[in-house]
Structure 1
């Protein structure tokens, strides 16, 4: 049979983008499908009406943005995932962090840190990652949250269950720091124009100046540029607004049917010898569960949907710190403190990372304006009183009775009227993540929506340690620790969902083998966060991409 393509890749995140480039370099005819749209420079929404309509992905309510928030009433988890060319790289916090060597224990096919290190190197090189230049560039040195995170780390006392002393890092970030001034535009190694980071803190809501090295600006851009693919390479075809509805085996390959989510009547069917599902932990698992439910992919492993976790995500805040932290100054994350602790009672290795967090300035204006205070009320009253006094003085001057100097320049009065941001400046957001237990699973509701079933109690050891260390950081800053209110309801927000299609050396315990190929369906691959067989510990994006590099290396030639 003649196929439309050699390989169809579904999803453009850290798995799909890597596979698209590397298979295009090998000479495969590749088609990349992404359910969301492509975002150019200055195309992420910022105005209020644009934000309301253009940020969130919820097709049932005619919203087609780049963030999907899901709440699961029968679970302890919420989840955040992306839509748009570049997948999760559009909304993650840029951190590329290697997984510790002993955390690979139990991974299939003998996968180790030593084997993965060359692929880690390859991803970092392709994404042009580098640490935050706090020590070398005066512009970036003026980042209080990075300064105080470093200061407090030096004074932290390690707990009795610590295996090795905690370590402070400036982790590698997929952010462009090159240029003569903030916003300076230069061309990256893939021929794409990017800007120098201006510390706006908008990394997680789409970087409008393309200072963030998102996957559409490196892996995908290169995959589409014939001149950069080498003598065997064939430029990939990218189709956005392509929401896949079915994968069906046909004549030694597969047919894929997708629709335009904005106009679901636009249906297209294409075929390929091989298909790579890279829609993320929840997206890939949900799609394959549907295909099994409706008799399309009947031989999928019984392990489908199992092995889910959130990589131990937890947010905390230090309030009323002794010093100005200024979380609106800098990229979202600049620093990390890495911890290693005694394992769980069954020997499962445990460690975690706590990182600083920031947010855009306009968010602080929103927060301060939303939460009225007595001082803000008094400023309004005083401003109005000053206005009345000024009018009264003018009336006196007209009668010749006014003997006091009239102030013409009232800039100080107007400045006084602006809300004070002490609350924001003296708040330090902390992001924790680490080795929770991957004992959750994903199933379908009656209307084919994904439902995550996961309980925090089995990972209590991890979350107790994260809170303990966050409190110590807050104390070191002279602040008060505020736990994420959701944790009082045993809820957490999973921004790093993992599992659902776990790798294994057996079809009884895994959906795919160590090369990402699905048991029972030759030529069908899964390459994304869903195949990781355990929690990663630190930020998982680099490990996902490195695993994709490894799988691409072993992928059959055209």
Structure 2
């Protein structure tokens, strides 16, 4: 009997823009909803500010870090995303802009082949944009005279570029219709607040990107998630999903790891493996999270299209710096920019795209990007040479006063010099660009970790044009242009990763259709930035939320399939002979490593190898093969040894331990002078689904020198479940394979293998020698012609008999 597990109408993975919208709309419609968010909740006042808190504010569970910032490094870019209730809204810069109507491109060629295609347009999203804005209540910056806002506007006017104040999801006034005023209590909405904490209006501190401790930001936990919880949604934090398994009758089993409770201290967190089933599964874990989850569970989701992992884009993100601006104001004073005063972004410049009437190339936006007030101190004190010179001059003056006997007890002016004028920070401005870069990146799992193959080279013209605009802005402000140091190696930092599970017009183009539903797996939806088939251009949050709102509306319009809570089938107990302990003095072992390629859906090993090689779908194992009793191993017909170690396959989630393994070496077959070396390995993929690898080497003398290829080539099949040895197993092909391929021993690995032979007991060489005799005889029997029979008839008289 299977165990009854918790069942709900919908499981929502993640709590970012797409996930939060989905949770609220479904709960509002009366569906039972569970939200699984890997990070913790962050009520106002809980975001890190001091050095100790910041040291723990990063996400890396294997190192006992369960903080807000998840920082990734790939081949040609860095990515910054968040882990917390509210997803990316906790650290984004509040900008809610709609995607330009003409930027929903069709058949826009990509350098490596294929096209950027948007199966939906602006008209499909406009009323959903309206719905999201009604909940998020964005408004332009109500303080137009902020120095940094005015600086970018003035530069735009000088360059003949249009600028505007974008809508910001920030609460500046205590209630709708009231005048903006900092640090006032915000009127609570009818649905309440999930944190039960007081929120205050924006105090213009520039801390938007590191978490708003006032609660001024209209982050998703303060609106959509609070509203979803009020409608009955069950929101669970510190719950990281790792497994997805389709159920036979429809729906999905979701497997997640619960990292204790909010109250537990990091470093002492309990970890519980938990399962839940649902009729509909909505993935909103972000571009990195959702795509990696699907890639790791691809064996469980075989109908996913080959577009999985494609169309990655950084939304054209690039950050540069206008340093030490010196241009004067109209009053003749040195310009004071003060980038820390005000929301992080308040002003934007839009450069048109080639698809626009007056544009050329790829369009982009440039926005000013402020930083927190406390960063001023870090930046100013980092100017070590200047600070030391100033300090030395102040000390000299004070010592001179004492030596001369001059009494000057007031030293305020000297201390003021020590603090400095703060000119560098007050006259500098980060510039953030984003737009229509080329969405030709590829996401894969490599060595069990997410990997992205992406380059600025195919978007070189786009980045050159945007940097040119940023240089012109800097020159207009009388500053010095500085690239992000990573740009020197043609790397960028993206805070807007998109794609990987793209929307498409058909299964050969996308992972999901234009309603965000998987082509091959009904009721599996992708509702975050990974479903976006190309760059949004402006800040993408609003578009992601609107796409999710549209998808959920479509779900709610369809006839509802109501399923009962299914019983999760218990893994059948497979009865096999227990592992025999090594016999003292008579055991022998060696280590073997084989590498190759497999392909899902392939039944033939050679076909699977060719396809897997083309797609770089690797499979390998490293095994320690032990004969517990060499004499028994040699004398029995099946020549069974114990195989222990691991398999590694990114299609199945990375490095996976072998739970039980058999190696049958040089087993006789029905064919004359043909023997097989058979391997059977039980393991489970990253989701916990059991699999069996069965492989064989055919040892037979064919024309040519084939002894090396025979003994170094393993033809394998991967089957679901732990298939036991024997005729009813997979040896005869009666169990259907989900994948097939071929492995080989590389010459260098074979050379190392020869050094791994170990015997046991007082005479270890005897065990090795006995195995060596068996090995040599088996090879000779297969490859050397049989000795001619002794002819005794007609022998000369007196010959020996």
Normalised TM-score (structure 1):
0.89
Q: Deviations over 1:260-280 (max 9, x none)?
A: 346463111111111101111
CA distance in 2, matches of 1:449, 1:120: 35
Which residue of the partner structure matches residue 469 of structure 1? 469
Which residue of the partner structure matches residue 377 of structure 1? 388
On the 8 A contact 2:6/2:275 being kept in 1, the answer is no
Q: Deviations over 1:138-182 (max 9, x none)?
A: xxx3x210011111111104xxxxxxxx42110000111103641
Alignment of 1:420-459 (within 5 A): 420-446=421-447, 448-459=448-459
| Structure whose alpha-carbon radius of gyration is higher | 2
Distance 1:349 1:544, change over 3 A: farther
Which residue of the partner structure matches residue 269 of structure 1? 275
Counterpart pick for 1:177 among 172, 178, 184: 172
3-state SS, counterpart of residue 314 of structure 2: coil
| Mapped pair 1:243 → 2:248 | no
Give 1:15 deviation, angstroms: 0.6
Give 1:386 deviation, angstroms: 3.6
Alignment of 1:138-537 (within 5 A): 141=145, 143-157=146-160, 166-179=161-174, 181-189=181-189, 190-192=191-193, 193-226=198-231, 235-250=232-247, 251-261=249-259, 263=269, 265-292=271-298, 295-322=299-326, 323-342=335-354, 350-374=362-386, 376-392=387-403, 396=405, 406-446=407-447, 448-537=448-537
Give 1:303 deviation, angstroms: 0.8
On the 8 A contact 2:105/2:118 being kept in 1, the answer is no
On the 8 A contact 1:41/1:210 being kept in 2, the answer is yes
On the 8 A contact 1:319/1:481 being kept in 2, the answer is yes
Alignment of 1:44-123 (within 5 A): 44-53=47-56, 55-72=57-74, 75-106=75-106, 110-123=119-132
3-state SS, counterpart of residue 421 of structure 2: coil
CA distance in 2, matches of 1:339, 1:9: 37
Distance 1:264 1:442, change over 3 A: farther
Q: Deviations over 1:449-495 (max 9, x none)?
A: 10000111111111011011001101111112112221221111111
CA distance in 2, matches of 1:279, 1:191: 25
Give 1:252 deviation, angstroms: 1.6
Structure with greater helix share of residues = 1
Q: Deviations over 1:237-268 (max 9, x none)?
A: 00000000101112321111111346463111
Which residue of the partner structure matches residue 162 of structure 1? none
Give 1:286 deviation, angstroms: 0.2
Report the RMSD for the aligned CA atoms in angstroms. Answer: 2.0
Give 1:191 deviation, angstroms: 3.0
Counterpart pick for 1:126 among 128, 135, 139: 135
CA distance in 2, matches of 1:187, 1:237: 25
Give 1:197 deviation, angstroms: 0.6
Number of residue pairs matched by the alignment: 517
RCO (CA 8 Å, sep 6+): is it higher in 1 or 2? Answer: 1
On the 8 A contact 2:18/2:544 being kept in 1, the answer is yes
3-state SS, counterpart of residue 308 of structure 1: coil
On the 8 A contact 1:102/1:349 being kept in 2, the answer is no
3-state SS, counterpart of residue 429 of structure 1: strand
CA distance in 2, matches of 1:6, 1:171: 38
3-state SS, counterpart of residue 519 of structure 2: coil
Give 1:343 deviation, angstroms: 5.5
Using the TM superposition, name which of 14-23 and 411-420 deviates more: 411-420
On the 8 A contact 2:244/2:253 being kept in 1, the answer is yes
Give 1:9 deviation, angstroms: 0.1
On the 8 A contact 1:3/1:273 being kept in 2, the answer is no
Return 5+ residue gaps in structure 1 as ranges.
Answer: 136-140, 158-165, 227-234, 397-403
3-state SS, counterpart of residue 307 of structure 1: coil
CA distance in 1, matches of 2:141, 2:272: 45
On the 8 A contact 1:108/1:514 being kept in 2, the answer is no
CA distance in 1, matches of 2:512, 2:553: 17
Q: Deviations over 1:185-208 (max 9, x none)?
A: 112434344211111111111011
